[in-house]
């Protein structure tokens, strides 16, 4: 019999290197697939930035990362967002919106079911690549850039688009950002702050500056692969993607909102 204290994951939406959706992610894990690739020129020209040594200023010690098959493809009309506004949105916001939609779909929850409910949104993110790029393009800045680059808007867009009235919080605790978001969502349900919680994490790699910093700190893997607990470990490999969970009290699983 379900306890009132138990929280269930009732929906999952994700987009990770190796393919979109939970089935693709499972196949990657099942097959032990290495999803690191050469960083393509549409991200940035890695040949201009790469140097295998660690002494040259402004250089990166790797040419590889785990990247999504397709970045910044977004069905903005699905969320009532104009083309002009979508063009000024951080790709991380777009991924969170899409993965939230898929998590709700996976849970069998419609927009009508969840609209107006006390559902909280808790998202973890730490990467500001998009904001860094757009802040340098002064002549192109318009009124959509303020929300398009804001970390807080990553959560608020979800709440607004699905008409959710629970807490809406973006969290940056570095590499633990998603786990922090999940912890806050879990506690918010237990405390009665919300009746369910959308918890997500996202990261997109679109600029080289953080690669440079990590290279100079000697904490970036030269082959782009993390090897935890191995004597061959030589730093961590960077990756991107997005995952969203829908949490709900176990006693209410199967009930519409």
**pLDDT tens for the 257 residues of the chain, in order:** 556 679 999 999 999 999 999 999 999 999 999 999 999 999 999 999 999 887 899 999 999 999 999 999 999 999 999 999 999 999 999 999 999 999 999 999 999 999 999 999 999 999 999 998 888 877 888 889 999 999 999 999 999 999 999 999 999 999 999 999 999 999 999 999 999 999 999 999 999 999 999 999 999 999 999 998 999 998 999 999 999 999 999 987 766 56
What is the pLDDT at residue 116?
Answer: 97
pLDDT tens per residue across span 156-186: 999 999 999 999 999 999 999 999 999 999 9
Name all domains of the chain by residue range, CATH numbers in brackets. Answer: 7-252 (3.40.47.10)
**Which residue bears the tokens 């996976």?**
106
Angle between helices 153-161 and 91-107 (to 10 degrees): 40
Q: Could you tell me if 12 and 244 are in contact, meaning their C-beta atoms sit under 8 angstroms apart?
A: yes
**pLDDT of the residue at 54:** 78
Query: For position 2, what pLDDT does the model report?
Result: 55
Q: DSSP letter at 18?
A: T
Structure tokens at 150: 């804001």
User: ∠251-255-257 over CA atoms, to 5°?
Assistant: 115
pTM: 0.94
Per-residue confidence (pLDDT) for residue 255, from 0 to 100: 66
Tell me how crowded residue 192 is: count the other CB atoms within 10 A of its CB. Answer: 8
Contact status, residue 222 vs residue 62, Cβ threshold 8 Å:
yes
Query: Any idea what DSSP says for residue 36?
Result: E
């Amino acid at each position: 019999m379900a306890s009132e204290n138990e929280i269930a994951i009732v929906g999952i939406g994700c987009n990770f290197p190796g393919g979109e959706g939970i089935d693709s992610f499972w196949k990657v894990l099942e097959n032990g697939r290495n999803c690191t690739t050469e960083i393509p020129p549409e991200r940035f020209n890695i040949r201009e930035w790469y140097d295998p040594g660690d002494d040259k200023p402004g250089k990166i010690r790797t040419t590889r990362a785990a990247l999504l098959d397709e970045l910044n493809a977004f069905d903005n009309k699905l969320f009532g967002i104009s083309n002009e506004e979508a063009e000024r949105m951080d790709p991380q916001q777009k991924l969170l919106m899409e993965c939230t939609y898929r998590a709700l779909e996976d849970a069998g929850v419609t927009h009508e079911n969840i609209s107006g409910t006390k559902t909280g949104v808790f998202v973890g993110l730490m990467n500001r690549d998009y904001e860094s790029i757009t802040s340098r393009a002064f002549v192109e800045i318009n009124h959509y850039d303020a929300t398009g680059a804001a970390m807080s808007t990553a959560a608020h867009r979800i709440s607004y688009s699905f008409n959710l009235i629970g807490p809406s919080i973006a969290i940056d605790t570095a590499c633990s950002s998603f786990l922090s978001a999940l912890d806050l969502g879990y506690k918010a349900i237990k405390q009665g702050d919300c009746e369910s919680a959308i918890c997500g994490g996202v990261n997109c790699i679109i600029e080289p500056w953080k690669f440079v910093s990590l290279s100079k700190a000697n904490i970036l893997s030269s082959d782009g692969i993390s090897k935890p607990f191995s004597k061959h470990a030589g730093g961590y490999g960077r990756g991107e993607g997005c995952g969203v969970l829908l949490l709900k009290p176990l006693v209410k699983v199967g009930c519409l909102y």
